[in-house]
Amino acid sequence: MLPLLLLLLPAVHGIDRVGPEPTLTLDPPLEGLVTASTFVLNQPHCVFENYSNAVVWLVVANNMGTSGFNNSMKPGTPETAFQGFPDKVSAYMTLNATLGSYPCPKPSQDITVLRVGSETSCAKDATRPTCNGPLPGPGPYWVKFLALEGSVPVAETDWSVPIMLRTAKPSSSISTGSGQSAGMIVITTILSILFAILLAGLVAMLVFCGSDSCGSSTFSKSDSVTVRRYNTHHVYDQPAARL
């Protein structure tokens, strides 16, 4: 009976709820805060300072994961592996760090953030179940920080607000500002390039044919014509016939 009570004691006691919940990094403003497969969070400085022996994990979940995730699940198992998200599991655990990575107070000169979804090399590697792989769709996603001492959960934050990722727009929806469709702009651009190529070829041909190697004819100066002067016989006036 006593061993059973000892097993139930952590469940009865629960784990500590700490705050604040994870938030996107808005200060300082960052390029690529939210992309098609990643987003950037503030690090949890001064959140778990009372748990010096804890390892802090980030839990990423979809809508089903926020209600179905069990804090007693262990990281690195098939139940919490990134490679199973979202088809086989509704939440996964990644980005584990000791409190030394999140000093309190936060260094004033450092930009301390976590980019969720930044590892592409391990996305399909089953030997890396805690991979911080690219997120598989636009979301929404929810995240929270969970502190474990060994395999025992000791503290957690609330779930974040829903986080949506960017989605690519189809070319037909691109506004051109002049009433023309994107397809027409592409065709016009291609024709302009072809015209420029033809024009460049014509100019090159004209330059080439202007040289001696393009059917040029050599005109030789004709010999000068010598005109000889002939003196005709003098015709003397005949004496007038005598009457």
Q: Are residues 70 and 97 in the same domain?
A: yes
Regarding predicted confidence, which is higher, 151 or 186? 151
Task: Read off the pLDDT of each residue in 49-57 and give the average, rounded to a whole number.
Answer: 94
| Range(s) of the domain holding residue 195 | 173-209
What is the model's pLDDT at position 1?
A: 46
In a 13 Å sphere around the CA of 199, the CA atoms on its Cβ side amount to: 6
Q: Are residues 85 and 182 in the same domain?
A: no
Q: Which two tokens stand for residue 106?
A: 């936060």
Pairing outcome for strands 55-61 and 91-98:
antiparallel
Q: Are residues 94 and 200 in the same domain?
A: no
What is the model's pLDDT at position 60?
A: 98
Does residue 220 sit within a domain?
no
> What percent of the chain has pLDDT above 70?
74
Rounded CA separation 19/178 (Å): 50
Q: Are residues 63 and 148 in the same domain?
A: yes
- Whose tokens are 């010096």? That residue is 52
Does residue 70 sit within a domain?
yes
Dihedral sign, Cα of residue 153, residue 155, residue 158, residue 163: negative
Q: Are residues 63 and 15 in the same domain?
A: yes
Regarding predicted confidence, which is higher, 131 or 225? 131
What is the model's pLDDT at position 97?
A: 96
CATH code (residue 8): 2.60.40.10
Cα radius of gyration (the chain): 43
Phi first, then psi, for residue 154 (nearest 5°) are: -120, -25
* pLDDT confidence tier of residue 208, bands split at 50, 70 and 90: confident
Q: Are residues 154 and 180 in the same domain?
A: no
Does residue 138 sit within a domain?
yes
Does residue 22 sit within a domain?
yes
**Domain total of the chain:** 2
What is the model's pLDDT at position 111?
A: 76
Q: How many helices (H) and strands (E) does the chain have?
A: 3, 7
Does residue 239 sit within a domain?
no
Within 8 A by CB and 6+ apart from 47, the residues are 18, 19, 20, 102, 145, 157
Q: Are residues 7 and 114 in the same domain?
A: yes
